[in-house]
């Protein structure tokens, strides 16, 4: 019999299913309605005690794993707003908060363990914001970390743009919670300017003074001339009486070569007419002498060698195990280890009862900064990958490095001279020293590994303003000629000329470029704004054709690692160095040097006094304050792989 026979089919009622479905719908409806009436965060007045406890009374009670990186600024912000939630609107994140999160995410490196993401708390926000905060404490913590991230973001994106050469230093209040929302507010402190000038000259990067200059007809026009066949360079020494050439070269100033005594400076434009009071764009400002003990002696290194050998023999040194980055506010078992290690190195002074503390406090933060400065690291107080690597270099390895540098120091004279320049290649630094005091220091860019800057002992022979550049053969063939063939007009506009055997400047025609490529002709870049050597060059006789010079690539000086050149040494403040060297020769000051570095006329000034130059390779030295410094072995001369990049 067929299964589909109606007599054998069992009939079931659908009523139970309908009843069960109705009950489920009713339950879901009431659950949804109840959830809509649930207040996700407790009333705002209940937040105040938590914020006061975390930020004022007991910072150690901060409940989140992420630390507060800007505790002082965050505390001031909440004080001004009476400890209220700043980033919530009707118990949910405000539009301002969402905009901030978008900005922080856009600035992210995409690596949750990076320092940028860590400082902006992006990992915490990602974990927390998957669900709307349901508890008071979670919402309050989220609000504080959003404020902290805002301050860090403001510092990174706004404060770094304030150029000290064009703006006075300002005090910054990062947040003003007003009807207009969150804004950056800058004001001049009492010691920096009068009350009438406060906040009027500069506002959020707008230079009101520039507008005044434009309206008054004072422009920034500069004229450059480059003749193909005429060499406009001239030789210049300190003016002597009766020397018509010297008188002509100093006629832009008042009698005796000095700038006008009225306080205004006179600069000439392309028509020979004076522009009074305008400071050229290339000015570095007034040179203010430093007065820091120099140090750098062999005996101090020997004392440090004995100290590190004793640390190695004591058995107290242990490396920090792998783990998360640590900074102020963090709690971690490695913090106690870090404190003991810095005590061993002398960067931290431990008090009784602190040795086993896992709290990363202010004193430990300052010790980390001191260690980072001594090792040429970015002084941010964060114990990340590079800082951990330097901390974990054993005292035995450190002793080996010190021994190498004792031998290097012994190769130099015991007394380096009354006036000298030292360029320390691994430190990317230059010091100008008089009477054993550092009078000028600056960052430098040195040769990359395949174009290593050599160790040199020489002197400064002359200072050249608006120098020309004769292109070395290797750079000519590999870099300049392909560019000149592709865009000869553009290269001519930048001052490049082919130079014949008779010294004539020729255009960049195909025939002339072929002759230069074959070695029959040279190629030279004339002096001026586009010259690769910048506006100032210091000639230091040596067989490697190395010299000190200015550069157009100013952004490199802000980097921690600065090995980018073909071997020559690029200077951060070449005009200040020129002034320091030439001051004893007469009336040399900022204004005179600014005038000589305007336009494209080359001026050479012979040095009358002997100023020695030492280009050194010191990966360890003791400064004038008794601090031991280490630097990575960028060229691999120490024979220790652990101290390389």
Residue 389 has pLDDT above 50, yes or no: yes
| Helix (H) or strand (E) segment spanning residue 157 | helix 136-157
Verify that 197 and 254 share a domain, yes or no.
no
Tell whether 307 is covered by a domain.
no
Domain housing 433: 229-292+415-468+526-636
Q: Is 619 exposed, middle or buried (0-12, 13-18, 19+ CB in 10 A)?
A: buried
Rounded mean pLDDT of the chain? 77
Nearest alpha carbon to residue 358 among 335, 338, 379, 340? 335
Verify that 234 and 195 share a domain, yes or no.
no
Nearest alpha carbon to residue 444 among 568, 316, 262, 304? 568
Q: What is the pLDDT of residues 516-564, one digit of tens each?
A: 888 888 989 898 888 889 999 999 999 998 999 999 888 899 888 999 9
pLDDT of residue 473: 85
Query: In this predicted model, which residue has the larger pLDDT, 93 or 164?
Result: 93
Taking residues 32-45, report their average pLDDT.
Answer: 49
Tell whether 512 is covered by a domain.
no
Q: What is the pLDDT of residues 569-622, one digit of tens each?
A: 999 999 999 999 999 998 888 888 988 988 888 999 999 999 999 999 999 999
CA distance 324 to 26: 49
Verify that 357 and 383 share a domain, yes or no.
yes
Tell whether 610 is covered by a domain.
yes
Nearest alpha carbon to residue 293 among 482, 143, 387, 433? 433
Q: What is the pLDDT of residues 401-432, one digit of tens each?
A: 999 999 999 999 989 999 999 999 999 999 99
Verify that 323 and 388 share a domain, yes or no.
yes
pLDDT of residue 227: 42
pLDDT of residue 109: 58
pLDDT of residue 329: 85
Tell whether 133 is covered by a domain.
yes
Verify that 447 and 575 share a domain, yes or no.
yes
Verify that 562 and 599 share a domain, yes or no.
yes
CA distance 313 to 206: 60
Tell whether 195 is covered by a domain.
yes
Which tokens go with 498?
A: 């082919």
Residue 305 has pLDDT above 60, yes or no: yes
**What is the pLDDT confidence band of residue 24, given thresholds at 50, 70 and 90?**
low
pLDDT of residue 115: 65
Residue 206 has pLDDT above 50, yes or no: no
Q: Please tell me the total count of domains within the chain.
A: 4
Q: Is 472 exposed, middle or buried (0-12, 13-18, 19+ CB in 10 A)?
A: middle
pLDDT of residue 35: 47
Tell whether 162 is covered by a domain.
no
- CATH code assigned at 370: 1.10.101.10
Verify that 153 and 61 share a domain, yes or no.
yes
* Distance (Å) of CA 293 to CA 126, 316, 414, 572: 50, 33, 16, 21
Verify that 446 and 369 share a domain, yes or no.
no
Verify that 69 and 192 share a domain, yes or no.
no
Verify that 75 and 208 share a domain, yes or no.
no
Which of 207-216, 347-356, 387-396 reaches the highest mean pLDDT?
387-396
Which range, of 57-61, 296-300, 547-551, averages the lowest pLDDT?
57-61
pTM for the full model? Answer: 0.61
Tell whether 39 is covered by a domain.
no
Verify that 148 and 74 share a domain, yes or no.
yes
Q: What is the pLDDT of residues 165-201, one digit of tens each?
A: 444 444 433 443 444 444 444 433 333 333 333 333 3
Residue 113 has pLDDT above 70, yes or no: no
Residue 28 has pLDDT above 70, yes or no: no
- CATH code assigned at 578: 2.40.440.10
Tell whether 221 is covered by a domain.
no
Verify that 541 and 587 share a domain, yes or no.
yes
Q: What is the pLDDT of residues 486-516, one digit of tens each?
A: 888 888 888 899 888 888 888 888 888 988 8
Taking residues 449-467, report their average pLDDT.
Answer: 94
Residue 264 has pLDDT above 50, yes or no: no
Cβ count within 10 A of residue 139: 25
Q: What is the pLDDT of residues 273-291, one digit of tens each?
A: 444 445 556 678 888 899 9
């Amino acid at each position: 019999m067929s299964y589909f026979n109606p007599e054998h089919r069992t009939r079931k009622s659908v009523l139970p299913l309908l009843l069960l479905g109705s009950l489920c719908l009713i339950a879901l409806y009431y659950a949804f309605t109840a959830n809509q009436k649930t207040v996700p965060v407790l009333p705002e007045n209940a937040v105040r005690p938590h914020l006061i406890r975390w930020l004022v009374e007991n910072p150690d009670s901060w409940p989140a794993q992420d630390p507060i990186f800007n505790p002082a600024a965050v505390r001031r912000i909440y004080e001004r707003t009476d400890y209220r939630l700043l980033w919530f609107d009707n118990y949910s994140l405000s539009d301002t908060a969402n905009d901030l999160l978008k900005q922080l995410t856009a600035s992210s490196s995409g690596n949750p363990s990076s320092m940028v993401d860590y400082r902006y708390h992006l990992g915490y926000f990602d974990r927390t914001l998957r669900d709307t905060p349901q508890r008071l404490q979670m919402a309050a913590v989220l609000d504080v970390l959003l404020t902290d991230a805002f301050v860090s973001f403001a510092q990174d994106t706004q404060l770094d743009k304030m150029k000290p050469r064009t703006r006075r230093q300002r005090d910054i209040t990062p947040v003003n919670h007003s009807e207009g929302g969150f804004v950056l507010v800058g004001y001049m402190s009492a010691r920096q300017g009068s009350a009438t000038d406060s906040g009027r000259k500069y506002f959020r990067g707008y230079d009101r003074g520039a507008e005044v200059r434009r309206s008054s007809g004072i422009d920034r026009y500069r004229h450059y001339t480059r003749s193909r066949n005429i060499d406009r360079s001239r030789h210049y020494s300190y003016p002597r009486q009766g020397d018509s050439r010297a008188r002509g070269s100093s006629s832009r100033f008042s009698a005796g070569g000095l700038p006008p005594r009225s306080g205004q400076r006179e600069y000439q434009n392309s028509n020979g007419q004076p522009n009074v009071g305008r400071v050229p764009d290339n000015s570095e400002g007034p040179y203010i002498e430093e007065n820091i003990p120099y140090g750098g002696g062999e005996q101090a290194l020997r004392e440090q060698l004995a100290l590190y050998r004793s640390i190695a023999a004591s058995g107290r040194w242990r490396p920090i195990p792998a783990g998360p980055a640590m900074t102020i506010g963090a709690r971690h078992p490695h913090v106690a280890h870090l404190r003991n290690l810095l005590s061993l190195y002398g960067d931290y002074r431990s008090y009784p009862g602190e040795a086993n503390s896992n709290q990363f406090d202010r004193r430990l933060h300052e010790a980390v900064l001191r260690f980072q400065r001594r090792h040429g690291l970015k002084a941010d107080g964060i114990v990340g990958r590079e800082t951990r690597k330097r901390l974990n270099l054993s005292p035995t390895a450190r002793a080996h490095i010190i021994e190498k540098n004792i031998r290097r120091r012994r190769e130099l004279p015991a007394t380096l001279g009354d006036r000298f320049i030292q360029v320390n290649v691994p430190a990317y630094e230059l010091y100008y020293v008089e009477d054993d005091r550092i009078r000028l220091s600056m960052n430098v860019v040195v040769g990359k590994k395949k174009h290593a800057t050599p160790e040199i002992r020489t002197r400064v022979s002359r200072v050249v303003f608006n120098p020309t550049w004769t292109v070395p053969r290797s750079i000519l063939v590999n870099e300049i000629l392909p560019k000149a063939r592709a865009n000869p007009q553009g290269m001519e506009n930048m001052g490049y000329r082919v130079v014949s055997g008779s010294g004539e400047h020729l255009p960049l025609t195909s025939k002339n470029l072929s002759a230069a490529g074959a070695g029959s002709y040279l190629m030279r870049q004339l002096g001026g704004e586009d010259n690769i050597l910048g506006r100032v060059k210091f000639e230091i006789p040596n067989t490697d054709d190395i010299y000190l010079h200015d550069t157009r690539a100013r952004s490199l000086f802000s980097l921690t690692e600065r090995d980018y050149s073909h071997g020559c040494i690029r200077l951060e403040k070449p005009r200040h160095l020129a002034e320091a060297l030439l001051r004893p020769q007469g009336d040399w000051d900022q204004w005179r040097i600014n005038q000589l570095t305007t336009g494209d006329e080359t001026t050479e000034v012979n040095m009358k006094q002997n100023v020695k130059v030492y280009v050194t390779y010191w990966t360890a030295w003791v400064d004038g304050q008794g601090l031991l410094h280490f630097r990575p072995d960028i060229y691999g001369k120490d024979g220790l792989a652990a101290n390389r990049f």
